[in-house]
Chain A
């Protein structure tokens, strides 16, 4: 805003000053738009796990309302016997309202015993968290959850 004030003080027309102001506002909106969108999140997940995921098998546990977006506890578990024949190969976690869609990728082996992980996530705003699990036979399962964030965790 400091820019438009200088424009006015140099006695340029009001219209020009207004134009600069509008451009500044547009700039702010444009920088906001640089955040990940649900489409980008889908793309990120699609690049990680090829195929169409089905609902089910995956459980995503997270608080409904997170007061502090800096560290939101999240638990992701996938139903699987975790044997050599049938196990969860990977879990991909993404968020659709952060500057970058990816959160974390877990790769498992049958030695993991149980496909359950817990971590703490940064969330910039109220958004949807998506988890996709890839089985060793290539099938994909997904679950998602909306988390309301009171104070964002991106230190703007």
Chain B
């Protein structure tokens, strides 16, 4: 299952200084909520992405704590203020401490 998990981000590659840029992220993850039963009637154990950390040039932008009530393939959109050219870095972590990272560069003209 873990091989199918792939983060996707969408953000513009250039920005003006001080511009507030919208960032859209999605990670393909089943987000098993621990309530569902499989065909044999056994409860499927909880397995969700529980955290997303976003940094810009290694400075924290946003931390998200996700609970079971977040839909599968968690989509998150938010904003970041860009003052200088840099790299947006995303880190997702799940219940089994697997983590996935993605990066996106933003250039300030």
Q: What is A's interface to B at a CB cutoff of 8 Å? A: 70-72, 82, 95, 98-100, 102-114, 116-123, 153-156
Binary CB contact string for chain B from 42 to 78 against chain A (1 if under 8 A, 0 otherwise): 0000000000000010011111111111111011111
Q: How far is the CA of A106 from the CA of B74 in the complex (A)?
A: 14
Query: Which 10 pairs show the lowest CB-CB distances between chains A and B?
Result: A113-B81, A113-B20, A71-B71, A120-B71, A114-B79, A102-B67, A118-B77, A105-B65, A155-B36, A107-B63
Question: A121 touching B59 by the CB < 8 A rule?
Answer: no
Contacts of B70 in A (CB 8 A): 103-104, 119-122
Q: What is B's interface to A at a CB cutoff of 8 Å? A: 20-21, 33, 35-37, 56, 59-72, 74-82
A-B contact count (CB 8 A): 106
Contacts of A111 in B (CB 8 A): 56, 59-61, 80-81
Question: B62 touching A106 by the CB < 8 A rule?
Answer: yes
Contact A117 B61, CB 8 Å, known A99-B35, A122-B68: no
Question: A119 touching B62 by the CB < 8 A rule?
Answer: no
Give A36's nearest chain B residue, CB to CB.
B69
Contacts of A109 in B (CB 8 A): 59-62
Give B46's nearest chain A residue, CB to CB.
A100
Q: How far is the CA of A155 from the CA of B37 in the complex (A)?
A: 8
